[in-house]
Chain A
Amino acid sequence: MASVPAVLNSEWTKIRTVSSTTWTLICAFLVTVAMGAALSALLNSQFDDLSAAEQATFDPTFVSFSGMVLGQLAMVVFGVLVVGTEYSSGMIRTSLAAVPQRGSFLFSKIAVAGVLALVVGLATSFVTFFLSQALLGDRGTDIGAENVLRAVVGGGLYMGLIAVFSMGVATMLRSSMLSLGILMPFFFLVSQILSAVPGAKSVARYFPDQAGSKILQVVPDAMNSDPAPYGPWAGLGIMALWVVAALIGGYLVLKKRDA
């Protein structure tokens, strides 16, 4: 067995020496923060135009995370590229010849990239929260208020899990293009649309992003969203199950298939 610390060290070098890491993570941060701040400012000024139901369930914490709908896509790109470039560059053969224990190889890579995504996700979550609260002024909330810290930490976890989920999918599909072609429309369109279609709604709420984003809400059914049959942590748990399934699938493909 190649030693795990050595493989972790190697994967860290891989991640920090490609430019895609920097630009995807900066993109995830900037898009989430900028869009969250913009929507917070907008809602603050247009508050009176909101419906009564929306005003009743106004959730300043949730509003500050509005940018994650787009920001998560950059996290998806990050996760896909971390794994996918091994295949597109042909590096995978060199990598597996150096570390033939495929489990060690895959999970070291995902651990390093996952922790990095989590750290960036947490930073993004805290920055977007505080900036948005400042813009919301009197309608804002405080980090010390009930469940708010849970939602802000949850925002970081959500972004980290999205990245890890994408890594698992990319390992299964062994291609950046294919993975992006499936994940981007899924998170950006399919999941969003299905969650608004009456019949499909009851299924769509178990999709990883729909279930996971429950953790971002402080007020139940925030902004007049549909009630879910699970709480914030259970929602994150459902998302975690998706992630575990993607990782198991990726591991099995990597283990069985010829490189």
Chain B
Amino acid sequence: MIELDGLTKRFGNKVAVDHLSCRVRPGMVTGFLGPNGAGKSTTMRMMLDLDNPTSGTVRIDGRHYRDLQEPLKHIGALLDAKSMHGGRSAYNNLLCLAQSNSIPASRVSHVLDTVGLSAVAKKKSKGFSLGMGQRLGIAAALLGDPEILMFDEPVNGLDPEGIHWIRNLMKTLAAEGRTIFVSSHLMSEMALTADHLIVIGQGKLLADTSMADFIHKNSRSFVRMRSPEQERLRDLLHAEGVVAVEAGNGTLEIDGEEPERLGELAGRHGIVLHELSAQRASLEEAFMQMTAGSVEYHAHSDRDGAPPPQAGPQWGEQWNQQRPGDTAGDRTTGV
């Protein structure tokens, strides 16, 4: 269990984390979500006592990090992929960490095996790819077999196989009753792994909710229809009291109706349909709407003197560019 209470961090005039209070509970994966620059990494560094909070506290199992005896046995963290000495072998990098917390050397080989780096254990870590560095960082986090694990953007630099592996690893660890806290700026990634969501923007808490609740509240279900006889279809729907919204590309979107009923309706009147599909609006959209305000302020404060940008949609564009070959899973995108 991690408890944040009024956690605040200022860098000069800029407030990076603003009175953040929340709990991270055991036995589940808690996603820590926010756009780039929202304060996720700063928050995580404060949790590990690397950065001093301006005010507020963090408690790990009721204690301050600094008061933990052998902290690696309580909480393991992956912050940066490159946080090891490149001139030292993977094995030795982990060995010196293990020794500082009186962890037996046998654990080093064990965690290297877990993350699949046994073959390169004796290699200097500066030759590692980003993905291998990420795995080494994860091995370091697992070293003390801790009850709490924290991962900052763990999928960065991993290939699809690696992403799949880390997702399963987090779920397995959570199923063992551990507390898993994982940050991401990708809603799609969170939707696949997290049971609970903590969303921040501009350092402020925007949402602290279960994933199921978030999906329920934020995913709009609708039916999409496309027909060569669009005018007739519209008139028909109107006559039946169904509200259809034109969505461009000759498609209509209908809220609150079952596709079966709409299909039968069109069939009875002999209207040809090219598409009839149930759709769910993406969670990314919901996430972007939620954080748009905070992002707007952030983008503005970043560029001093620049005219206030139309940051909501602008940020969305950036976000789309950043999105890797995204596997949508069971979700379809309505845009």
Contact = CB atoms under 8 A, between A and B. Distances in A.
B157 to A, nearest CB: 15
A251 to B, nearest CB: 15
A97 B140 CA distance: 11
A94 B51 contact: no
B37 interface: no
Contacts of A9: 99-100
B95 A97 contact: no
B236 interface: no
A89 B82 contact: yes
Contact of A94 (B70, B95, B140): B140
Contact of B89 (A17, A93, A258): A17
A96 B50 contact: yes
A9 B79 CA distance: 24
Given A17-B88, A90-B83, A259 B51 contact: yes
Interface string B80-111: 10111111110011011111111000000000
Contacts of A17: 88-89, 92, 95-96
B49 interface: yes
A9 B99 CA distance: 6
A14 B99 CA distance: 10
A10 B140 CA distance: 14
Q: Kindly name the residue among A14, A95, A256 whose own CB sees the greatest number of chain B CB atoms within 10 A.
A: A14
B102 A97 contact: no
Given A18-B88, A89-B83, A2 B100 contact: yes
Contacts of B99: 6, 9-10, 13
Interface stretch (B18-26, B61-69, B263-271, B290-298): B61-69
A94 B98 CA distance: 11
B71 interface: yes
A91 interface: yes
Contacts of B71: 2, 97-98, 100
Contacts of B79: 93-94, 97
A45 interface: no
A6 B11 CA distance: 35
A51 B92 CA distance: 56
A59 to B, nearest CB: 41
Given A2-B70, A17-B92, A100-B68, A258 B83 contact: no
A89 B98 CA distance: 18
* A-B CB proximity, top 4 nearest: A10-B100, A258-B51, A10-B99, A17-B92
Given A94-B97, A258-B50, 5 more contacts: A13-B95, A18-B85, A90-B84, A96-B50, A97-B50
Interface of A: 1-3, 6-7, 9-11, 13-14, 17-20, 85-86, 89-91, 93-101, 256, 258-259
9 contacts: A14-B88, A17-B95, A86-B85, A90-B84, A93-B45, A93-B50, A96-B50, A100-B49, A100-B66
